[in-house]
Amino acid sequence: MAKNKAFNCPKCGLVSWGDMGYCPECGTPWTIVCGDCGASWRFYWEYAFCPACGSGNLIDITVARQKRMEEKEKGKLGYAGIRKGGVDV
Ligand SMILES: [Zn+2]
Ligand SMILES: [Zn+2]
């Protein structure tokens, strides 16, 4: 078993070694999401590129959530959301 690396919460500075998805102190999500394929992982792994598709378009899950909310408001979310890369299969 690989030992988890210690890291600080980017918002409140809480030190953690766990596999938690959110900071128990301030509720900040500790997840990075690939803006292209939607894969996610803990931010402290510090990947520069998506391990699933190689994209460098990485976003914070908070941003991803905001984006989703905005799209929902605009009514863009729906069957268009399941299409990958905008290409019809
Ligand atoms: Zn925190
Ligand atoms: Zn990806």
* Helical residues (DSSP H) of the chain, grouped into ranges: 61-74
- Å from CA of 72 to ligand 2 middle: 22
pTM: 0.57
Task: Return the ligand number nearest the Cα of 33.
Answer: 2
* Tokens representing residue 3 in the block: 């030992």
**What's the CA-to-centroid distance between 41 and ligand 1, angstroms?**
17
Instruction: Return d(Cα 21, Cα 29) in angstroms, integer.
Output: 6
* More confident position, 89 or 5: 5
Decide if pLDDT at 3 tops 60: no
- Note the ligand closest to the C-alpha atom of 37: 2
**CA separation for the pair 56, 26 (Å, rounded):** 28
pLDDT digits (tens, 9 = 90+) for 18-75: 677 889 999 988 888 999 999 998 887 788 999 999 999 998 877 777 888 888 888 8
What is the pLDDT confidence band of residue 89, given thresholds at 50, 70 and 90?
low
- Domain boundaries, given as residue ranges, for the chain: 7-81
Residue 57: predicted pLDDT:
94
H helices then E strands: how many in the chain?
Answer: 1, 5
pLDDT given for residue 36 in this prediction: 94
76 alpha carbon to ligand 1 midpoint, in Å?
32
